[in-house]
Amino acid sequence: MRRLVSASMLVLLTACTAQTSSLPLPDSGLTREERLAIRFDGADVTAAGLATQTIGRTIREADVQRAVTTAAARSLSWNAGTRDAVVRLTVTRVEIARPDAVPLPGALSLMEGEVALFDAATGMQIGATVPLSVNGEGWRIDGLQGEALARERRLELTRLAFQFTAVARRALLGG
């Protein structure tokens, strides 16, 4: 039953959101040829050193690590080339907005960190380390529906993790 409620909430969250402007995406500095030559699957994720309280809501490093690792397994896969690479994601800050703050303008959760790409054989870094920041990818939930959805902390963390890894993928591969 709990899974059904969580799945329903995710569908409702998607339906109740509105797009706002997104932040400009930093670039890893890889050329088109370099991007086409690499391949990777998933990521090494680090979420150590996060605060245990964020905007009044308790969040555990293990929960962040698990959410980002799961999201990376789904969205960080690229098999175009022959050069094996390792994606390293570091999460440095997570803020999950309090449910009572969601109806207020600007009350968005966020996730910050960085992504870097390394050659799997040599361990040498490929391209630049790219800082990442997502704030709900521009979605905003308002009113009582927003408050009800924000009470499900894991759903919000899962949504942020997927957005974080999607931005990491675009930073590494472009577009």
- Residue 76 CB contacts under 8 Å (≥ 6 apart), including other chains: 40, 41, 42, 43, 87, 165, 168, 169
- The model's pTM is 0.75
18-27, 94-103, 134-143 — which one is most confidently predicted on average? 94-103
H or E stretch at 152: none
What average pLDDT does the structure give for the chain?
Answer: 75
| Cβ-count burial 27-45 (b if 16+ within 10 Å, e if not) | ebebeeebbeebebebbeb
What residues does 39 pair with on adjacent strands? 84
Confidence of residue 15 (pLDDT cuts 50, 70, 90): very low
pLDDT tens digits, one per residue of 78-123: 888 899 999 999 999 888 766 555 445 555 778 899 999 999 999 9
Lowest mean pLDDT among 8-17, 19-28, 32-41, 58-67: 8-17
Whether 12 has a pLDDT exceeding 50, the answer reads no
Higher confidence at residue 149 or residue 125? 125
Q: What total of structural domains would you count in the chain?
A: 1
Range of the domain at 90: 2-173
Higher confidence at residue 59 or residue 140? 59
H or E stretch at 114: strand 110-119
- State in Å, rounded, how far the first CA of the chain is from the last one: 39
